[in-house]
């Protein structure tokens, strides 16, 4: 039995920074990851075209000014190998690997009054006073639910588990299933080599052009000189990406001015620019439709076949209520004769056969099937382990009606356990590196305070959790998000309760709430000293979002 102070599960952006911070406290900390190296998302998702859609100099750590100065990004939107190299550099620079165990999965965790008992698939048993899930919001690929994939005679690849040695599809017939961010990124790159490429699209995405390019020396120097101010602007923004804040309704400006505004923001190549152009795009259907139609016009302008353009145009849900995409040449790819689009809403994939994918129109024969079919978001990695909390309650039982948490950081009945970017925190509705740093800092400070105060257990009160769940759900109800079936709501996973998985109020307001909770002696938590006869440290005032 290994005995440590803190176990961190996951060695992506979150786990690496969490380890670095906990070392400063002098706590015996261990990180475990199923992967063979650091990187998390950027270790696993190696498909051609994979890159971030937040600019490199924003999608990076802010905690070390020296790191900011020494690391130089090459592109506005770096590709997966560059982001992975960055995280490998961070691991080496801060000497993190010596406390990380790779190729190992945490398979079970249960609370035992004085700490957590954890088991790994290597058969190791670990006792840890604190348990931190840095397991990622998009780390468990969704089962594609296509019958017969085992019967298929060719290759089946998943964007989320792309082979490390790469894949050459030159001269092949390829099917891509799925048109979320992964499918939209991989399609044009595979199209460049494949003999025939068929994209099976069930729900079209709204996608914006990245206008990706190499960074020039002047803009790098300018950002390096002003990083502190830039980071402040990120933290003060809605999503961790500074964009000009709207002051007017989309409905109070004339159509020509509105079109010019949308065009200017479209040309910026910033994912959130168009959706942030007016105050009410996320809350008012009519306002939203002005922006949605602007995007559809761009699709019609780009795709030469009007029928294909129409199939690619989202009409069944408002702009921004499902994750929008940033692409390089996605719509343009359909102008090539060898690239085909199947409307898999109209003609669903019935099953895979030995030769390809069958719809009611027949079998599309292919050599390779690429599954870009998404993830069991936010809760998937946690429920895969399904920790057992106080009184033997499983997380899956606690979440039977949907994920519940306090601040997205902790769960009632699960003492000394934290979730980095857990449900109902800004997580996937933000530049996640900004949100990860904020969570890691908050968790580290909370543990440090407990250690200083002689607190042995820190646990969310059920009433605080309930209040948070109620308040965050009410905020979602004021937006257009519930109008779409999306992975934000768990709709992509059969049987997953329909609960919005992210805080929708913007990262600056969220940070204020978290800071206020900490400043108010961790309001909403009970903190119990090791001596059972000493009074618990409790601040039972109501929380407010
Ligand atoms: P992850 O990077 O997902 O790391 C979690 C780690 O936990 C994984 O390595 C996994 O193996 C490990 N793990 C999970 N369960 C267990 C277990 N039981 N035992 C052991 N190990 C376990 N976000 C943005 O803000 N901007 C972007 O541009 C962006 N682009 C993305 C592109 C892709 C292709 C994907 C899939 C996601 C993207 N994201 C983006 C979201 C991205 O996941 C986060 O930005 C960030 O990388 C998450 O870091 P993390 O450390 O929280 O989790
Ligand atoms: O997954 P998705 P993703 N038959 O869930 C379809 C981040 N990310 O990996 O919607 C046919 O968005 C499914 O159709 P439908 C980002 O946060 C970022 O692409 O269920 N189709 C959908 O079209 C992103 O949002 C980047 O109707 C099937 C698609 O598969 C998140 O990760 C890049 C199907 C899945 O889309 C997830 O993106 C990549 C079936 N049986 C990822 N099953 C950046 O650019 C599923 N689908 C930064």
In this predicted structure, the answer to whether residue 526 has a pLDDT above a threshold of 60 is yes
Q: How far apart are CA 125 and CA 132, in angstroms?
A: 16
Question: Using an 8 Å Cβ cutoff, are 481 and 452 in contact?
Answer: no
Best CA proximity match to 101, nearest among 178, 180, 189, 36: 36
* Mean pLDDT lowest among 209-218, 342-351, 474-483, 528-537: 528-537
Q: How far apart are CA 128 and CA 387, in angstroms?
A: 14
Local structure of residue 305 (DSSP, 8 states) = S
Q: Would residue 165 count as lying in a domain?
A: no
Question: Using an 8 Å Cβ cutoff, are 2 and 117 in contact?
Answer: no
Residue whose tokens read 């948490």:
405
CA-to-CA separations, 420 to 12, 135, 306, 432, 525, in angstroms, rounded: 11, 8, 45, 10, 17
Best CA proximity match to 134, nearest among 240, 41, 61: 41
404: tokens are 């519940």
Nearest-10 Cα torsion for 511, 514, 517, 523: 150
pLDDT tens, residue by residue, 144-183: 999 999 999 999 999 999 999 999 999 999 999 999 999 9
Residues 6+ away with beta carbon under 8 Å from 203:
179, 314, 316, 317, 322, 345, 485
Q: Would residue 394 count as lying in a domain?
A: yes
The burial class, CB within 10 Å (0-12 / 13-18 / 19+), for 180 is buried
SS3 for 66? helix
CB atoms within 10 A of CB 416: 22
Ligand 1 site residues (CB inside 6 A) read: 9-15, 32-35, 40-41, 43, 45, 50, 52-54, 59, 105-106, 134-139, 182, 381, 384-385, 420-421, 431-432, 436
Please give the distance, rounded to the nearest whole angstrom, from the Cα atom of residue 344 to the centre of ligand 1.
28
Q: Which CATH number does the domain housing residue 440 bear?
A: 3.50.50.60
Q: Would residue 521 count as lying in a domain?
A: yes
Q: Would residue 182 count as lying in a domain?
A: no
- Report residue 540's pLDDT band, with 50, 70 and 90 as the boundaries: very low
CB atoms within 10 A of CB 522: 23
Of the bound ligands, which one is closest to the alpha carbon of residue 83? 1
pLDDT tens, residue by residue, 47-94: 999 999 999 999 999 999 999 999 999 999 999 999 999 999 999 999
Q: pTM (2 decimals)?
A: 0.97
pLDDT tens, residue by residue, 277-286: 999 998 999 9
In this predicted structure, the answer to whether residue 542 has a pLDDT above a threshold of 50 is no
Residue 244 is predicted with a pLDDT of: 80
Please give the distance, rounded to the nearest whole angstrom, from the Cα atom of residue 41 to the centre of ligand 1.
4
Across residues 413-434, what is the average pLDDT? 97
Q: Which is the closest atom of ligand 2 to the Cα of 485?
A: 10
Full domain range(s) for residue 399: 2-38+96-140+376-529
Q: Which of 33, 34, 41, 161 to mutate for ligand 1's pocket (most ligand atoms within 8 Å of CB)?
A: 41
pLDDT tens, residue by residue, 101-147: 999 999 999 999 889 999 999 999 999 999 999 999 999 999 999 99
Residue whose tokens read 């979730």:
419
Name the closest-CA residue to atom 23, ligand 1: 432
Ligand 2 site residues (CB inside 6 A) read: 52-53, 138, 144-146, 177-183, 185, 200, 202-203, 323, 326, 344, 349, 372-375, 428, 487, 492
pLDDT tens, residue by residue, 321-334: 999 999 999 999 99
- Report residue 311's pLDDT band, with 50, 70 and 90 as the boundaries: very high
Supply the mean pLDDT for the chain. 96
Question: Using an 8 Å Cβ cutoff, are 312 and 202 in contact?
Answer: no
Question: Using an 8 Å Cβ cutoff, are 424 and 406 in contact?
Answer: no
Question: Using an 8 Å Cβ cutoff, are 272 and 304 in contact?
Answer: no
Q: How far apart are CA 504 and CA 477, in angstroms?
A: 10
Across residues 516-524, what is the average pLDDT? 97
Q: How far apart are CA 87 and CA 68, in angstroms?
A: 13
Question: Using an 8 Å Cβ cutoff, are 190 and 382 in contact?
Answer: no
Residues 6+ away with beta carbon under 8 Å from 394:
386, 387, 388
Helix then strand count (H, E) for the chain reads: 16, 20
Q: How far apart are CA 415 and CA 101, in angstroms?
A: 24
Residue 536 is predicted with a pLDDT of: 61
Diameter over CA atoms, the chain: 77
Q: Would residue 390 count as lying in a domain?
A: yes
CA dihedral sign of residues 211, 212, 217, 219: positive
Q: Would residue 281 count as lying in a domain?
A: no
147: tokens are 């019958």
The burial class, CB within 10 Å (0-12 / 13-18 / 19+), for 538 is middle
Query: What are φ and ψ of residue 399, in 5° steps?
Result: -105, 20
CA-to-CA separations, 72 to 78, 81, 93, 180, 233, in angstroms, rounded: 11, 14, 15, 30, 20
Q: Would residue 350 count as lying in a domain?
A: no
| N-terminal to C-terminal alpha carbon distance within the chain | 42
Region for 364 from its dihedrals, namely left if φ exceeds 0, alpha if ψ lies in -120 to 50, beta otherwise: beta
Q: How far apart are CA 126 and CA 124, in angstroms?
A: 6
Please give the distance, rounded to the nearest whole angstrom, from the Cα atom of residue 274 to the centre of ligand 1.
26
**Domain tally, the chain:** 1
Q: Would residue 283 count as lying in a domain?
A: no
SS3 for 504? coil
CB atoms within 10 A of CB 182: 27
Q: Where are the alpha helices (DSSP H) in 432-502?
A: 432-453, 462-477
Strand partners, 111: 116
Question: Using an 8 Å Cβ cutoff, are 68 and 227 in contact?
Answer: yes
Radius of gyration for the alpha carbons in the chain, expressed in angstroms and rounded: 24
SS3 for 167? coil
């Amino acid at each position: 039995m290994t005995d440590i102070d803190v176990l961190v599960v996951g060695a992506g952006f979150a786990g690496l920074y969490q380890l670095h911070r906990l070392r400063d406290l002098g706590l015996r900390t261990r990180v475990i990851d199923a992967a063979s190296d650091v990187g998390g998302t950027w270790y696993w998702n190696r498909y051609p075209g994979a890159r971030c859609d937040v600019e490199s100099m924003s999608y990076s750590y802010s905690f070390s000014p020296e790191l900011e100065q020494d690391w130089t990004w090459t592109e506005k939107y770096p590709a997966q190998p560059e982001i992975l190299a960055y995280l490998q550099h961070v691991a080496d620079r801060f000497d993190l690997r010596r406390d990380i165990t790779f190729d190992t999965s945490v398979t079970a965790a249960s609370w035992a009054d004085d700490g957590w008992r954890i088991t790994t698939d290597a058969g190791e048993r670990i006792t840890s006073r604190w348990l931190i899930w840095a397991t990622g919001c998009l780390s468990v690929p969704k089962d594609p639910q296509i019958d017969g994939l085992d019967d298929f005679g060719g290759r089946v690849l998943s964007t989320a588990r792309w082979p490390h040695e790469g894949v050459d599809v030159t001269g092949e017939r390829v099917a891509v299933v799925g048109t979320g961010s992964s499918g939209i990124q991989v399609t044009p790159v595979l199209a460049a080599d494949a003999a025939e490429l068929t994209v099976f699209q069930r729900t079209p995405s709204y996608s914006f052009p990245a206008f990706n390019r190499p960074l020039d020396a002047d803009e790098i120097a300018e950002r390096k000189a002003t990083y502190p101010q830039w980071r402040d602007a990120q933290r003060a923004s809605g999503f961790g990406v500074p964009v000009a804040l709207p002051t007017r309704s989309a409905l109070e400006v004339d159509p020509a001015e509105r079109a010019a505004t949308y065009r200017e923001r479209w040309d910026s190549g910033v994912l959130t620019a168009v959706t942030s152009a007016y105050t009410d795009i996320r809350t008012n259907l009519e306002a939203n439709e002005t922006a949605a139609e602007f995007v559809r016009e761009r699709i019609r302008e780009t795709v030469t076949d009007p029928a294909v353009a129409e199939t690619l145009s989202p009409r069944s849900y408002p702009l921004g209520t499902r994750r929008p995409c940033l692409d390089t040449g996605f719509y343009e790819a359909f102008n090539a004769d060898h690239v085909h689009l199947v409307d898999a809403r109209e003609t669903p994939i019935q099953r895979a056969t030995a030769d390809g994918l069958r719809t009611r129109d027949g079998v599309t024969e292919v050599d390779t099937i690429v599954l870009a079919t998404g993830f069991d978001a936010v809760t998937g990695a946690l429920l895969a382990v399904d920790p057992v909390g106080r009184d033997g309650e499983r997380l899956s039982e606690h979440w039977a009606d949907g994920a519940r948490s306090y601040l997205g950081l902790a769960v009632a009945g699960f003492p000394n356990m934290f979730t980095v970017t857990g449900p109902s925190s800004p997580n996937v509705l933000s530049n996640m590196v900004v949100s990860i740093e904020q969570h890691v800092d908050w968790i580290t400070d909370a543990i440090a305070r407990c250690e200083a105060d002689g607190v042995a257990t820190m646990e969310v009160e059920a009433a605080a959790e309930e209040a948070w769940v109620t308040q965050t759900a009410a905020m979602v109800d004021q937006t257009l998000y519930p109008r779409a079936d999306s992975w934000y709501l768990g709709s992509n996973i059969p049987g997953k309760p329909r609960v919005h998985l992210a805080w929708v109020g913007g990262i600056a307001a969220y940070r204020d709430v978290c800071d206020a909770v900490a400043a108010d002696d961790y309001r909403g938590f009970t903190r119990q000293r090791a001596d059972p006869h000493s009074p618990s440290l409790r601040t039972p005032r109501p929380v407010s979002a």
